[in-house]
Amino acid sequence: MSRHIAIFTDDPGWHGKELHKAFNARGYRCTNVSLTDCYFRTDPGTTCLVIPGFEGTLPDGVFVRGVPGGTLEEVVFYLDVLHALRELNVFVYNDARAIERSVDKGMTSFLLNQAGLATPPTWVGNHVHQAYTFIRQQQDRGCKIVIKPLFGSQGKGLQLITGPRDMTDFTLYNRVYYLQRYIETGINDAHDWRLFVIGGQVVAAMKRQSDHWITNVSAGGRCYPAALDDAFVEIACAAVRAVRMQYGGVDVLSDREGKLWVTEVNSIPAWRGLQRVSGVIFAEQLVANFLDCLQEYPGVEQAI
């Protein structure tokens, strides 16, 4: 019988089809599962963690393509399922700890800073007066500020603060405020780079460019293939190591002086746009690395 992989996702779409095709080509079968449908049960004689499609057993490995949003209790429960799988010696790619470190932008910034990587000056907290103090300090230095949702993606909920009239309604951010210095690139068109790291290596990169200051493809950014020098590769790989992921998408900016800054590390990155401009078949690369990690996975006592 072929080994059976769970892909956690609520919207398989194109990415899910690509992963199924790559796993099937390696002799593995896959089942798409929503974390919302999993549950714990501790009755005697029953499986303690029930995953639809795997009743009475557990997956041979888990590929996480999405963690649903929801209330604090719901999100904690979904992550509990991923944590429990690790406790049961099931390999999870990327695991709950990596997702927790990256989905929380404040923790990502903390870990990047602790690793000595250049990341924009950031303030995270829940006191509005302290938030305004940080904003004024940055403005006194002639800097703009970006406010972002602590949990968010695809450029949604971002605001650029350039002066007192831009002071935002902080209640939009659930009383935890993530403020970050805006890095000026010295070029009229906003641009940054997305690097895709798998197994400690950059497998592809693209430049994202936009007439607007937000460069995310979902917000209208344009993608171009990019050949990067060693400095880009080194900082991207170091960022993924700092957040302790098997794979990740890293966003990098270059300022007026050419200094590189890591602005985000994504543990569940999409790759359709990058595949289109690079020609790399990401599902094949991801599945190959997944299976290498699965073969070497030591179990809960020694797992990273």
Question: Closest Cα partner for 152 from 175, 178, 134?
Answer: 178
Taking the model in full, what pTM does it have?
0.88
Low-confidence ranges of the chain (pLDDT < 50): 300-304
Q: What is the pLDDT of residue 190?
A: 72
Q: What is the pLDDT of residue 157?
A: 67
Tell me the CA distances in angstroms from 140 to 136, 185, 211, one per residue in order. 6, 19, 26
Q: What is the pLDDT of residue 304?
A: 38
The answer to whether the beta carbons of residues 8 and 65 sit under 8 Å apart is yes
Q: What is the pLDDT of residue 149?
A: 77
Q: What is the pLDDT of residue 151?
A: 73
Tell me the CA distances in angstroms from 95 to 64, 70, 181, 195, 245, one per residue in order. 8, 19, 30, 20, 8
- Hey, what's the torsion of the CAs at 274, 280, 282, 286, to 10 degrees? -130
The rounded distance, in Å, linking the Cα atoms of 199 and 285 is 9
Q: What is the pLDDT of residue 300?
A: 38
The rounded distance, in Å, linking the Cα atoms of 143 and 79 is 37
Tell me the CA distances in angstroms from 58 to 48, 91, 92, one per residue in order. 10, 11, 12
Q: What is the pLDDT of residue 100?
A: 93
